[in-house]
Amino acid sequence: MTGKLKPSAVPSGRWSRMAKLGSLAGGVAGNMLAEGARQFAQGKRPKINDLLLTPANARRVTEQLAHLRGAAMKVGQLMSMDAGELLPPELAEILARLRADASPMPMSQVVSVLNANWGEGWDRHFQQFSFTPVAAASIGQVHLGQTKDGQRLAIKIQYPGVRQSINSDVDNVATLLRLSGLLPKSLDIAPLMAEAKQQLHHEADYLREGAYMGQYGALLSDATGFSLPQMHSALTTENILVMTRMDGVPVESLSTAPQAERDRVIGLLFHLLFREIFEFRLIQTDPNFANYRYDSASQQLILLDFGATRSYQAPMIEHYRRLMHGATTGNRPAMNEAAQAIGYFQASINETQRNRVLDIFALACEPLRHDGEYDFGRSDLAARIRDAGMVLGTDRDFWHTPPADTLFLHRKLGGLYLLAARLKARVDVQKMAANFLSTVTIPLAVAPSR
């Protein structure tokens, strides 16, 4: 994606970032006035949402948030993944565009960050360093290098000012979304925004991510189907994560691979997810396809990016086990009890709303209930879940934000379903999940030390 967007300096100061958001709001309002005048001249009486959701405004919102990167871009990503089925289609489309990569930093800004973290003369460590990033996302961008002793490295450099701007950026974007009138007034997004702040602070701590990378490496030391980078501790700082370079091809490029290879890769990811939930109680919750690559030579799946890793408490994991077991066996009372314990239901929920929520859970567990290989390529499961969510979302009395841990777990599962559908994989998910759902043994996950 870095080749599609021109480099642009990341605004690092609080006021410059606020000014960018202010100019965004002003530009959107100006476009609305111009479009309104044009439609009035044609004898039309436009609605406010029709004026707001023009292609020009959609492009302006997307480009400006992508230019700000950091929290501004991440909030859009979170909203598009976590509440997409509850938002107006036009807003969901705008936010979904932010799942793509951001504009890369210009070379001068990259050098400035490197000098600040490694000191002048940092190039003494390298025989080669590429200033052209191979990836640019919401928090940072990735460069390649090789040390004097021949180590091939991937260097993730955080955009300047991202960590300091997280809280204000989230607040400003939330205000922008609210003032747009696109979000229902009854929808309380405060818990989601608070969680977005905490999650972003975690993702912006590269020492923390490096520790989780090491922990995953230890947890998966017995899994020959996976390969992970190792952190280069001597050069890693809070703002720069240096790790061994992992090559391979994008996992979505396997869409043309033999059926057996596609099935195996998705099977590996499902088994990993069940281990993350029920064995590790530690989940890498970012479903971005770019977090996975595939090494055709070794036939190993490469796992990248552990910034969105979250640990889960044993009681919640046990409730999820009971919820999923109930969904696979058709035990609605058990599902209802587990969902209640997790926090899916507000006190005022009525029986119709409760049953609709349980119906969605049952839908989501369809692959776990299917006898034999589930054909994700021929399934319309994602559309059925979306449609069920839309029906529930039209009930304004229902708006309720469940615990943040559940939203991030939904994100991970939804992303895996999308990837399985993209690769048209066939996986016996029921057989794979059986052992995990029939046991209550949940080992403790050890938090990484700094």
Residues 6+ apart with CB under 8 A from 153: 144, 145, 146, 147, 232, 235, 242, 243, 244, 245
Q: Are 331 and 325 in contact (CB under 8 A)?
A: yes
Residue 81: closest CA among 250, 308, 252: 308
Q: Are 243 and 154 in contact (CB under 8 A)?
A: yes
CA atoms within 13 A on the CB side of 195: 18
What value does the CA radius of gyration of the chain take, rounded to a whole number of Å? Answer: 23
- Cα 91 to chain centroid distance, Å, stands at 18
Q: Is 142 helix (H, G, I), strand (E, B) or coil?
A: strand
- Give the C-alpha separation, 191 to 381, whole Å: 28
Which pair of structure tokens corresponds to residue 438? Answer: 């029939």
Residues 6+ apart with CB under 8 A from 414: 81, 287, 382
- Give the C-alpha separation, 222 to 46, whole Å: 62
Residue 202: closest CA among 393, 25, 408: 408
DSSP one-letter string for 277-334? IIII-EEE----GGGEEEETTTTEEEE---TTEEE--HHHHHHHHHHHHHHHHT-HHH
Contacts 24+ apart (CB under 8 A), 391-395: 391/356, 392/86, 392/353, 392/356, 392/357, 392/360, 393/85, 393/86, 395/353
286 is catalytic: yes
Q: Indicate which residue of 169, 205, 286, 305 is catalytic.
A: 286
Which pair of structure tokens corresponds to residue 18? Answer: 């606020």
Q: One-letter amino acid identity for 145?
A: G
Beta-bridge partner residues of 155? 143, 242
Beta-bridge partner residues of 141? 136, 157
Please provide the size of the chain in residues: 450
Active site residues: 286
